[in-house]
Amino acid sequence: MLTPVKTKIRCWWNETLFPIAAESKIQSKPWTKRQETIAMWVLVAASAAILMPSLSYPLIEPDETRYAQIAIEMNDSQNWITPTLSGQPYLDKPPLMYWLTALSFKCFGNTEMAARLPAVLASLATILVSFLLGKRILAARPAFLGSVALLLCGGFVFAGRFLILDSLLSFFVVTTLLSAYIAVRQESHHWGWWMFAGIACALGVLTKGPVALLLCGPPVVVSAWLRQDSTRPKFLHWAAFGAPIAIVCIPWYIAVWKSNPAFGDYFFLEHNLKRFTQGSNHKEPFWFYAPSLLAAMFPTSLVLPSLGFFLVGRSDAKRGLRSKDMGFLFLAAGWILLFFSLASCKLPTYILPALPLLCLMIGGMLDQTVLRPERENGISAYLKPFPQRASLILLFTLILVMSLDVWFGGTVSAVTIAAGIGGAAVLAVVLRYWNTDKAFSASAWAFTAAFAAGVISFTTARFVPTVAAERSVLGKVAKLTADNPNALVVFFDEKSHGAKVELPIQTHVHLQTARTGGLDRTILNHQELVVVVGQADRQFARDTLSSAYKLVAASDNDEVYVARRIKPNGTAQAVVKKRELH
C-alpha cells in the first residue's frame, strides 16, 4: 500500500527537485591549486579580521560567566571528569568545551579573550571546513562563495565570539555531515572519510550530548533512501562510524556516572528528553526559527528568498541547475531546522549548524546564476540590482547600530566617527554608479560584501562590547575595585560566576547571604567594601551595612554599592551583636 507513495516521493525528489547527478556538467570550471590556496588564505585572513578583534570585554551574564566559572573550577580542582559550578556538580552538558576553555585559561590566563578563544577558533574552523569540504562536493568557486556568505551571517559571527557551546557543536556537526557525504558520494565508498566523520561526530557528542548524533545520522539515512543509489551506507559503515563514538565518549560517560549516580536520570531524561518534549526552559512556538533564521543570517539572509525560488522552481532551466549534491545540503539543513522546531525548548543559537549548509547552497546558486551571465534566468535578473539595494539596507543598519552605540556608551568614539565616514563614502560610491553596468558586476558584489563585513565588524567589535560593559555587573565591580584596590568585594545572594576573570587577582571575593551573622563580623574588619546584592536580600543588606558604612549606589538598579566605614569597629560589632540578640 505504501509502495506507490514511496515511489512518488522518490520520483519527486530525484526528477523534480534535484534531477542532476553529482559531478555533472553544471559544475564550475575547476580552479587551480594556486587559486584554491589563495581563496583559503583569503578566508583565513577575513575570518580572523572579523572574529578576533576586541574580545576583551566583560563576559555576558549568565552563560559566559557560568561556563568560564566551570573552567576555572576545573583548573583549580584538577577534576576533569565532573564539571562543577560553585563547587557543586554541573551535569547539564558534557565537558569538551570546558576542557578547551580551561586549557585556554592555563595558556593565556583568566581573561575574557582566553575564555572566548575556543569558540572563536571553532567558528573560524567552521568557515574553513565549509570551504575545504564544500569544494569536494560543489567545486571550489561555489564553496568559496558559500564560505564568504557564512562569514557575512551576523548571527554566526555574533555567536562565534561568545563562550557558548553551539559554535563548537556547529563545527563538529558540519564536519560530520560533509565528511559522511563525501565518503558515500562516489560509487566506491571512502572508508577514511567515513571514519573521519565518526570522529567528528564523537567530539560533537562530547560537546553537547546525543543531539550531535541525532543531527548527523538522519540526513545520511534519508538521503540514501530517497536516492536508492550507491550513497546508501551498509552495516559495516555504521559500525565504523559508531566505533569512534564509543571509544571517545563512553569512557567519560561511565566515569562521570560512577562519580555522580544521579547523572543518568538528570542528563539523559531531565536535560535532554524533557527539555525536548516539555520545554522546561525557553519554551517557544513551532515557527520561532523562521524569524530567528532571517535575523541570524543577516545580511546573507537577503538572498534567502532567491534561494527558495531556485530550489522550488519548476522550469527546466532551474531544474537543470539543481544537483543531487545540493539536495543533500538541503536535506541536512532542513532536518536541523525541523528538529529544533519540533523541540519545545528553543534558543536562537541552536540552529547554528544549519547556517553553513544553507550558505553552501547559496554559494551554489550564485555560482550557477549570477556568476554565469551567459545563462538567462529569472533569479539572475532579480538579483542583478542586489548590490546597490543591499548596500542601502546595510547603510541603514550601520546608522541604527551607530545610534545605539552612542546611546548606550554615552559618547561618540573615534571608531564610531570612522564608521560614519566609511558609510558616507559607501553611499557616495553607490549613488555615483547607480543603475550602471558597474553596479551590476561581480566587483559590485565584492564591494557590497566588503561593506557588509565592515558593518558586522563594527557591530560585534564595537557595539556589542559597549552594551556588554554597560550591562555587566562584574564589569562595574571591576572599575570600582580599580579605584578602591583595598576594598573587599562581597556578594550578597548574588552569584560570583566569572569573578576571577573580571576582577583583579588581589581582590577577595566573598560569597554569602546577607542574613548570615558571621558574615557581618567578616565584613566589619574592612574599611571599604564593594557590595553586590541580589534582589531578595537588597533591603536587608542595606539595613545591615548602614549601621557602620556609608553606602553609595554604583549602578542604576541599586545592585552594586560602594561602602565606606563611618563607625569604628567596636561600635559596628556592637550593632551586629544587638541585631543577633533580636
Domain assignments of the chain as residue spans, ordered by start: 43-281, 386-470, 473-581
* Predicted pLDDT of residue 552: 83
Number of Cβ within a 10 Å radius of residue 87: 9
CA–CA separation, 154 vs 174, rounded Å? 18
User: Which SS3 state, helix, strand or coil, does residue 559 take?
Assistant: coil
Greatest mean pLDDT range, 264-268, 269-273, 320-324, 329-333: 329-333
Residues 176/72, Cβ–Cβ less than 8 Å: no
* Predicted pLDDT of residue 445: 96
What DSSP designation does 21 have? Answer: P
List 299's β-bridge partners, or say none: 153
List 345's β-bridge partners, or say none: 283
DSSP assignments along 229-271, one per residue: STT---HHHHHHHHHHHHHHHHHHHHHHHHH-TTHHIIIIIII
Inform me whether the pLDDT recorded for 579 exceeds 80: no
Residues 537/513, Cβ–Cβ less than 8 Å: yes
User: Which SS3 state, helix, strand or coil, does residue 200 take?
Assistant: helix
pLDDT digits (tens, 9 = 90+) for 220-238: 999 989 888 777 888 888 8
What DSSP designation does 82 have? Answer: S
Inform me whether the pLDDT recorded for 477 exceeds 70: yes
* Predicted pLDDT of residue 576: 45
pLDDT digits (tens, 9 = 90+) for 430-446: 999 999 989 899 999 99
Share of the chain above pLDDT 90, in %: 60
Number of Cβ within a 10 Å radius of residue 36: 18
Average pLDDT of the chain to the nearest whole number: 88
| C-alpha pair distances (Å), 353 with each of 81, 160, 239 | 27, 12, 25
| C-alpha pair distances (Å), 238 with each of 220, 245, 439 | 11, 11, 51
pLDDT digits (tens, 9 = 90+) for 505-545: 656 666 555 555 545 566 667 788 888 887 766 777 777 77
